[in-house]
């Protein structure tokens, strides 16, 4: 039976290697000078499937958001990573990141326009089933995708990782909320204190949301980002990578992407 195991392992390795090799990257411009995005596909996948919109942290459209979009493509999903600041700005200090984020949030209509443009580009991809569009975001991006769900966008689901949870402008409503909701939250994240997390859960349950709210006790902000601990130490900020929370939340995302409506 050993030789059968070796053959099975060899086939798996060949399949995995071919899937990685088949990943494609296409840089695109959003219409109306809204900014840029990168679409990741996988030529080894022949049937239409799930598409995922990926929104970056407050730092801007950096390598991290694109790496997550690429990871999805390696697994067979078509994804689009979007520059929600629209200008290619990437911060190298929390003060700049905060300024970039606050500037973007002053114009929610433009955020919405960028999201809708990215969604249209993703739906136009030949490998995407337009009825299976998801959105995910980190930090600032988590707040963006949750607000898109609150607005009633036709999304199969949204996932927020160490994201902003509350919104002064948008509230979930049972008559419009369509998306499944996944939230991965660090229990020791001071940017989203317990009362805000509790308020969010109350809001979503009141709207009848299909909610998976995952709290990781003792875990700080940016727990999915490998270099978060180094940044936390450099800037004296509550950023810290957590391997368990990262892997568990990613597995929860993949389960959601495989769910049938």
Look up the CATH superfamily of 23-258: Alpha/Beta hydrolase fold, catalytic domain (3.40.50.1820)
The residues facing 134 across adjacent strands are 52, 157
pLDDT at 205 over 50: yes
Q: Where are the domains of the chain?
A: 23-258
Secondary structure of 177-212 in HEC code, one letter for each residue: CCCEEEEEEECCCCCCCHHHHHHHHHHHHHCCCCEE
| Per-residue pLDDT, 209 | 97
pLDDT computed for residue 8 by the predictor: 45
Backbone angles phi, psi at 94, to 5 degrees: -55, -35
Q: What is the mean pLDDT of residues 194-219?
A: 97
Mean pLDDT computed over 224-253: 98
**pLDDT at residue 11, as a whole number:** 39
In angstroms, what CA-CA distances link 14 with 10, 18, 86, 128?
6, 6, 39, 25
pLDDT at 208 over 50: yes
The pTM of this model reads 0.91
Q: For the residues 202-227, what does the mean pLDDT come to?
A: 97
pLDDT tens digits, one per residue of 16-46: 444 555 899 999 999 999 999 999 999 988 8
Q: What is the pLDDT of residues 46-66, one digit of tens each?
A: 888 999 999 999 999 999 999
How crowded is residue 187: how many other Cβ atoms within 10 Å of its Cβ? 14
Mean pLDDT of 102-124: 97
Instruction: Please determine, for residue 109, whether its predicted confidence score (pLDDT) is greater than 50.
Output: yes
Close Cβ partners of 225 (under 8 Å, ≥ 6 residues apart): 57, 64, 138, 231, 239, 241
Average pLDDT taken over every residue of the chain: 92
């Amino acid at each position: 039976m050993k030789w059968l195991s070796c053959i099975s392992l060899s086939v798996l390795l060949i399949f995995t290697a071919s899937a990685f090799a088949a990943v494609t990257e296409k840089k695109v411009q959003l219409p109306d000078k809204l900014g840029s995005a990168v679409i990741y596909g996988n030529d080894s996948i022949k049937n239409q499937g799930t598409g995922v919109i990926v929104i970056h942290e407050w730092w801007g459209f950096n390598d991290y958001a694109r790496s997550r979009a690429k990871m999805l493509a390696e697994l067979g999903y078509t994804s689009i990573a979007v520059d929600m600041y629209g200008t290619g700005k990437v911060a190298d200090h929390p003060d700049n990141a905060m300024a970039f984020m606050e500037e973007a949030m002053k114009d929610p209509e433009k955020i919405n326009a960028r999201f809708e443009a990215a969604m249209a580009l993703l739906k136009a991809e030949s490998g995407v089933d337009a009825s299976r569009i998801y959105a995910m975001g980190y930090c600032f991006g988590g707040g963006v995708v949750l607000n898109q769900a609150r607005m009633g966008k036709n999304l199969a689901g949204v996932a927020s990782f160490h994201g902003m949870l509350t919104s002064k402008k948008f509230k979930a409503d049972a008559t419009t909320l369509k998306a499944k909701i996944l939230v991965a939250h660090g229990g020791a994240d001071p940017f989203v204190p317990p009362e805000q997390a509790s308020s969010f859960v109350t809001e979503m349950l009141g709207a009848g949301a299909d909610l998976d709210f995952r709290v990781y006790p003792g875990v700080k902000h940016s727990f999915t980002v490998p270099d978060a601990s180094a940044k936390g130490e450099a800037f004296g900020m509550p950023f810290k990578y957590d391997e368990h929370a990262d892997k568990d939340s990613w597995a929860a995302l993949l389960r959601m992407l495989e769910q049938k409506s």
